[in-house]
Structure 1
């Protein structure tokens, strides 16, 4: 504990949201301390795809933040030695109704650098897709993918070593009100404070957070072990994602797609299942996911939900289903009416919560905005 030294900014929470704020402040030359109750990141920031998703994010601020965050990820990955595992996204349209959504998306400003791919051209992206059964696909060049369980600790180490950020691990913050944090290891002096609580709505400033009507979302994910998987393939999504990701789902044609999906894959929709497939350096695949909402999600992982995810996988990829090497659940904050929130209890205090599962995709840009606001 750096007794007697004051920081310009204290950040509560060392997930991607907290680390993004540490980077933004450190780049402005600020003295930064990050306080976290755990020894290392163990929540939503590592229980995900590590997929910085741009295409499909809601038009406007979210899409713009995703583009900016993607650029920062590329800069930081190079500086911190974080490998970029994949680039680009191929969103498969299995149905004509899905293709219609992609065609409308391409007419928007967000589709400017994307392109429609005809089914016979899909093998050019890599082998293994059931392309003869598809109506087309959209290719986006914007996305990058990192291995989140490695990238988050690498990012923290980079912030400590190259930017002088102080980390206080295994430390619970009891109160956070500038110019002081009271913690399980004593007081920390800081001119400003950013609280990044993830889906902990009750430890710090619960009366402020309560006004946003937040709940939690639980998701299922798996690591698959295919006998072979073409490393040339970009990240893959499919029809089910087109009614979840607002950049697609807000296109007029998405209504007809949803109606058909409700008739043909109603159980998938009921369980919030859509398909994302990304590849790791060892050839394994991170595959998911599902969405179930509750104030306190249960910790159980019913195989029937995983089977729905694997069913959609089998509709997109040829060959026998791969074996499952790992299964896990994650939880994140969710709101009915917003993708993120920044609450300002005072001039020197901010509470920042990503309420849409887009932390990896948007946190860097959100942090730049918050830090600029705090420090002028």
Structure 2
């Protein structure tokens, strides 16, 4: 290929797309290399929920706030519908309400508010079981339909921003200025590698130093429940999973209570997110199982526990299951994402917490500020 690029991005999931879009919006000549025909991994197998509230305090929370703002700009330009906004987290015990009150006392609670049981029901068309104590409302989130949003974002990056996208192309090397690929040599001044959970193809030794594992999650699409949700739903289990809540001292009592009452939910790593599409159907999940290489065999008990938590949180039986699938993403015990410098003018970027859609643009801006400077 004769064209010389300022930046080559390897990996066409949401992290790679965010880097390509950010660089192109800054006037750079960009090529994006994707080994599959289209993104088919974690980026399309999730809720499409850009989550701010509950992200780990500090940098992750700040990156999510920035990413939410960029999504709000990019989605209309790319023709991506925003399905709904905001978060409603139901609480079934005084211990859960104590975590919510503690969260609201931090800087992360800005703009959020506690709801009593009736207030929660009024805003969610009567959802909530008999044991509902109240809940948390956040206005900060927005939601897109991942399986449609990622292809639309890809098209916009190509047609709207002028990025050259090379699908079904494997990069064998990633050190500029000449990258060896299955399409031949590509010339680029700088490179960002976004491998997702591919720990072997490029920079294997660098990735191995971070002791990453993989998480397999179970997801469901349920039939339209006949209710139009005002935003995404979460529940008590989320307060002990999302670090922005779970790191608060008040979460310890709630964790002990839930471990005693719902031990299998914890064994399956279940917490609840319910997101609704324009057609009324619900994306519901999820469970979490960790291993170096999780098998493709998800336990039926995980699905049962997800549906059980749906019923507990909403006070209604779960609608019929229309689809079910698993996703796999990279995880680390000590960080939500990593940025490594394996060579001059190369950055290796992996989100290690399942928060790619929620932090992608903030991470991309941070990485490219460092990589490109005034170049």
TM-score range, shorter chain: over 0.9
The question of whether the paired residues in 2 share the 8 Å contact of 1:235 and 1:279 is answered with yes
Tell me, in whole angstroms, the C-alpha distance in 1 between the residues paired with 2:318 and 2:145: 23
Unpaired runs of at least 5, structure 1: none
Aligned to 2:307: 310
Contact 2:48 2:145 in 1 (8 A): yes
**Could you report, residue by residue, the CA deviation over 1:48-92 in whole angstroms, capped at 9, with x for unpaired residues?**
000000000011000000000000000001111100001000011
Q: Which residue of 2 aligns with 1:106?
A: 104
Task: Select 1:289's aligned residue among 268, 274, 286.
Answer: 286
Which secondary structure does the structure 1 equivalent of 2:38 belong to? coil
In the alignment, the residues of structure 2 paired with residue 93 and residue 323 of structure 1 have an alpha-carbon distance, to the nearest angstrom, of: 25
**Residue of structure 2 in register with 1:337 after alignment:** 334
Alignment partner of 1:349 is 2:346: yes
The corresponding residue for 2:368 is 371
Residue aligning to 1:11: 9
1:212-238 Cα deviation digits (max 9, x unpaired): 00000000000001441x214310000
1:217 lines up with 2:215 in the alignment: yes
- TM-score in terms of structure 1 length: 0.98
Q: CA 1:227–1:363 in structure 2 vs 1: closer, same or farther (change >3 Å)?
A: closer
Q: CA deviation at 1:179?
A: 1.1
Distance 1:72 1:180 in 2: 32
Query: Equivalent residue for 2:158?
Result: 160
CA displacement at 1:346 relative to structure 2: 2.0
Shift of 1:131: 5.1
Report the CA distance shift for 1:262/1:220 in structure 2 as closer, same or farther (over 3 A).
Answer: same
Shift of 1:271: 1.0
Provide the rounded CA distance (Å) in 2 between the counterparts of 1:130 and 1:363: 33
Question: Does the CA-based 8 Å contact 1:87-1:144 persist in structure 2?
Answer: yes
Measured against aligned partners, the alpha-carbon deviations of 1:126-162 in whole angstroms (never above 9, x if no partner) come to 3141254211101000000000000001001001111
Q: Measure, in 2, the Cα distance between the counterparts of 1:373 and 1:241.
A: 34
Distance 1:79 1:124 in 2: 34
Instruction: Select 2:18's aligned residue among 6, 17, 20.
Output: 20
Paired residues for 1:61-210 under 5 Å:
61-130=59-128, 132-210=130-208
Q: What pairs up with 1:234-273 in 2 under 5 angstroms?
A: 234-273=231-270
Distance (Å, rounded) in 2 between the aligned partners of 1:158 and 1:112: 33
Q: 329-338 or 299-308, which moves further after superposition?
A: 299-308
Maintained 8 Å contact 2:174/2:202: yes
In the TM superposition, residue 174 of structure 1 has moved relative to its aligned partner by 1.1
Q: How many residues align?
A: 373
Q: Any unmatched runs of 5+ in structure 2? A: none
Q: Distance in 1 between matches of 2:121 and 2:92?
A: 15
